[in-house]
């Protein structure tokens, strides 16, 4: 997608030295575009856990390249141990996003056979590139399928703008390209369908205010930033036609873990008869988990993320300021689970389906009878 009219992805190998992997350090957006170079597995683990990169698909792609980076420091004698340690380190960085373990396990499987160090290194590089390309391609296809949902509403509204509410950032910055929730929006905008996006600010990290609003501005998509608690009011006043959100982990029964606050939007949407869709590439399904609320691990992050905010002050300097009494206790749950019954449909790279086991397995028949196995 575009930054200042130039096409970017969120992660790519340095063309002059592919052993170095480049990322957009998202902590500085929307104020500054900072490109960071990752050179060893510690850099990768830090970039994921401290959210230089974030979002399900991008976390997976970063972990894929992280495994490649790890082997560059291995010798013939310790390669298996180096990869095992790197896998453990990367998987521990963020517990909720399914794509993380999925990408790491895919890399481990790719080099599980025979082969010397150079062969394995080449395989890890090729697989990391494949994971990234696939992520971009799957998101592009999610856009094509989701476009039809928006087109139908636009036709019903006789060409009046379709008002779409989204939460957090399931945009291209959360993936390698296109995004999941935003892909249908970009596709509709490019097809000449009038859309307008309500952007939830998304406390405490403010991914909506900082990232989604910036992305939509760069692509010229009309949008309005709203405080997190505004969606219900807008829905009651018929100012929302459709909700599309992303997900960090989805059970094969259709329960969805997404950024904290998503569940409340789903409840409000149900109360107001507004379609609530979740967009995801298949790498975000967890084929082992049946009960989202009981089984999806919910990441808890440092309380200071709630007690401080960072932004640009009037003189243009980036500052972090406290907004709560220093001794106040905090609870910073990063995600919540929306049960399948509140979801109108899932938009995947293979098409749209109901958030229910038979329909999900209908789209992914190769996963039938394989609970207990990570998808790959």
d(CA 372, CA 359): 19
d(CA 183, CA 279): 9
Q: Are 70 and 83 in contact (CB under 8 A)?
A: yes
Annotated catalytic residue, options 43, 248, 255, 336 = 248
Q: Which is nearer to ligand MRU, 55 or 146 (CB)?
A: 55
Single out the residue of 254, 331, 265 nearest to residue 293, CA to CA.
254
| Shortest reach from residue 246's CB to ligand MRU, in Å | 3
Q: Are 364 and 356 in contact (CB under 8 A)?
A: no
The region of 29-37, 53-61, 100-108, 217-225 touching ligand MRU under the rule CB under 6 A is 53-61
**Which residues have C-beta within 8 Å of that of residue 251, sequence separation ≥ 6?**
285, 286, 289, 290, 291, 292, 295, 296, 340
Q: Which is nearer to ligand MRU, 107 or 207 (CB)?
A: 207
Q: Are 165 and 130 in contact (CB under 8 A)?
A: no
Q: Which is nearer to ligand MRU, 83 or 245 (CB)?
A: 245
Tell me: does residue 212 bind ligand MRU (CB under 6 A).
Answer: no
| Shortest reach from residue 11's CB to ligand MRU, in Å | 14
**Residue choice 93, 107, 154, 258 for contact with ligand MRU (CB under 6 A):** 258
Q: Which is nearer to ligand MRU, 19 or 333 (CB)?
A: 333
Tell me: does residue 56 bind ligand MRU (CB under 6 A).
Answer: yes
Would you give the binding string for ligand MRU spanning residues 225-254, x where CB under 6 A is met? --------------------xxxx------
Compute the radius of gyration of the chain from its Cα atoms. 20
Q: Which is nearer to ligand MRU, 74 or 201 (CB)?
A: 201
d(CA 174, CA 245): 12
| Shortest reach from residue 358's CB to ligand MRU, in Å | 25
d(CA 244, CA 164): 7
Tell me: does residue 185 bind ligand MRU (CB under 6 A).
Answer: no
Q: Which is nearer to ligand MRU, 55 or 345 (CB)?
A: 55
Tell me: does residue 348 bind ligand MRU (CB under 6 A).
Answer: no
**Residue choice 23, 90, 153, 168 for contact with ligand MRU (CB under 6 A):** 168
The total number of residues written for the chain in this structure: 376
Q: Which is nearer to ligand MRU, 154 or 284 (CB)?
A: 284
Would you give the binding string for ligand MRU spanning residues 298-337, x where CB under 6 A is met? ------------------------------------x---
d(CA 23, CA 263): 31
Q: Is 332 exposed, middle or buried (0-12, 13-18, 19+ CB in 10 A)?
A: middle
Helices (H) and strands (E) in the chain, counts: 13, 18
**Residue choice 52, 55, 107, 162 for contact with ligand MRU (CB under 6 A):** 55
Tell me: does residue 259 bind ligand MRU (CB under 6 A).
Answer: yes
Q: Is 294 exposed, middle or buried (0-12, 13-18, 19+ CB in 10 A)?
A: exposed
Based on the residue annotation, tell me whether 248 is a catalytic residue of this protein: yes
The region of 113-121, 153-161, 163-171, 285-293 touching ligand MRU under the rule CB under 6 A is 163-171
Q: Are 68 and 110 in contact (CB under 8 A)?
A: no
Catalytic residues: 248
List of residues contacting ligand MRU (CB under 6 A): 54-56, 168-170, 174, 180, 207, 245-248, 258-259, 334
């Amino acid at each position: 997608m575009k930054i200042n009219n130039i096409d970017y992805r969120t992660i790519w190998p340095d063309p002059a030295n592919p052993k170095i992997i480049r990322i957009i350090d998202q902590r500085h957006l929307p104020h500054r575009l900072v490109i960071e170079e990752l050179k060893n597995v510690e850099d990768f683990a830090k970039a994921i856990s401290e959210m230089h990169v974030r979002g399900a698909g991008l976390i997976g792609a970063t972990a894929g390249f992280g495994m490649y980076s790890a082997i560059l420091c291995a010798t013939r004698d310790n390669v298996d141990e180096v990869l095992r340690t790197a896998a453990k380190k990367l998987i521990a960085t963020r517990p909720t996003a399914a794509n993380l373990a999925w990408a790491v396990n895919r890399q481990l499987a790719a080099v599980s056979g025979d082969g010397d160090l150079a062969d394995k290194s080449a395989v890890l590089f090729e697989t990391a590139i494949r994971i990234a390309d696939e992520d971009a391609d799957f998101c592009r296809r999610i856009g094509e399928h989701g476009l039809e949902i928006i087109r139908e509403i636009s036709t019903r509204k006789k060409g009046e703008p379709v008002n779409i509410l989204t939460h957090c950032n399931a945009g291209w910055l959360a993936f390698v390209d296109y995004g999941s929730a935003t892909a249908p929006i970009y596709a509709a905008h490019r097809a000449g369908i009038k859309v307008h996006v309500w952007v939830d600010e998304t406390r405490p990290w403010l991914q909506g205010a900082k990232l989604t609003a910036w992305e939509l501005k760069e692509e010229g998509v009309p949008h309005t930033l709203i405080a997190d608690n505004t969606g219900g009011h807008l829905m009651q006043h018929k100012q929302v036609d459709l909700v599309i959100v992303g997900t960090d982990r989805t059970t094969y029964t259709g329960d969805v873990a997404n950024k904290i606050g998503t569940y409340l939007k789903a409840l409000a949407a149900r109360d107001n008869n507004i379609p609530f869709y979740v967009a995801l590439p298949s790498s975000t399904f967890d084929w082992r988990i049946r009960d989202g609320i009981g089984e999806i691990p919910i990441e808890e992050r440092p309380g200071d993320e709630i007690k401080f905010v960072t932004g640009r002050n009037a003189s243009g300097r980036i500052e972090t300021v406290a907004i709560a009494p220093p001794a106040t206790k905090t609870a910073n749950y990063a995600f919540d689970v929306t049960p399948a019954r509140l979801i109108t449909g899932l938009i995947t790279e293979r098409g749209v389906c109901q958030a229910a086991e038979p329909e999900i397995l209908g789209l992914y028949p190769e996963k039938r009878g394989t609970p207990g196995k990570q998808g790959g």
